[in-house]
A and B are shown apart, each in its own frame.
Chain A
């Protein structure tokens, strides 16, 4: 058990458009989901933490209006990159945990390319 999926696995979009990425916990209920960003050959940087039914907590330097996070159910969180620009191109990874101190299970990631 403890499988996390992401959709899409990759997406290419034009500059100025918005892109939505889904993160689902397939076989468990995730009270907390996390969104990370990973640049090539670099580590994962936490963008925000979302708890089901409440507003996401963003890390310092992450624009809330740029990266909209919704965690409407215990199995789904979405990240919307609004008005995407080429510098938003990156690998976005989500993780989910059953509770605040439980193990985080990671999704396979979504590669976003903004032209």
Chain B
């Protein structure tokens, strides 16, 4: 079964601290993994995707197929990073269906 697991509902850190938002997935083939972010009162927007291997707003995520993980990391959290973060999986085969994790709320305190 296809599944995305984000074990933490809330992650609370102080400004300047490192952040790691965990994401594990279950998929039998070669999935594409994404991180979406939703700031307060705003729509969901794409943060990054594993195939791009880029860093957005200081965030990075590496796909670890052995551990079936796609954790989101940032070395120094900023207050403006406070938001809801969703990990999502898209299966192979050209079908654009996204499966979302439950989401993790990141709260960065001054």
Q: Which of these, B36, B42, B95, B103, contacts A100 with CB under 8 Å?
A: B95
A108-B43 contact given A43-B103, A44-B86, A46-B99, CB 8 Å threshold:
yes
B46 cross-chain contacts in A, Cβ below 8 A: 103-104
B92 to chain A, nearest CB (A): 10
Interface size in chain B (residues, C-beta < 8 A):
18
Q: Does any Cβ of B come within 8 Å of A97's Cβ? A: yes
CA distance A102 to B103 in the complex (A): 22
Q: Are A102 and B100 in contact (CB under 8 A)?
A: no
A79 to chain B, nearest CB (A): 17
Q: Are B96 and A101 in contact (CB under 8 A)?
A: yes
A100-B100 contact given A107-B43, A108-B43, CB 8 Å threshold:
no
Q: Are A102 and B43 in contact (CB under 8 A)?
A: no
B95 cross-chain contacts in A, Cβ below 8 A: 100
Q: Does any Cβ of A come within 8 Å of B83's Cβ? A: no
Q: Are A43 and B96 in contact (CB under 8 A)?
A: no
CB-defined interface of B61-75 with A at 8 Å, one 1/0 digit per residue? 000000000000000
Q: Does any Cβ of B come within 8 Å of A25's Cβ? A: no
Q: Does any Cβ of A come within 8 Å of B13's Cβ? A: no
Interface residues of A in 5-32 (CB under 8 A from B): 32
Q: Does any Cβ of B come within 8 Å of A42's Cβ? A: yes
Q: Are B43 and A44 in contact (CB under 8 A)?
A: no
CA distance A25 to B46 in the complex (A): 16
Q: Are B100 and A44 in contact (CB under 8 A)?
A: yes
Chain A: residues with CB nearer than 8 A to chain B? 4, 32, 34, 42-46, 49, 93, 95, 97, 100-104, 106-109
**A-B contacts, 9 listed (Cβ < 8 Å):** A43-B102, A44-B100, A49-B97, A95-B44, A100-B94, A101-B96, A104-B46, A104-B96, A109-B43
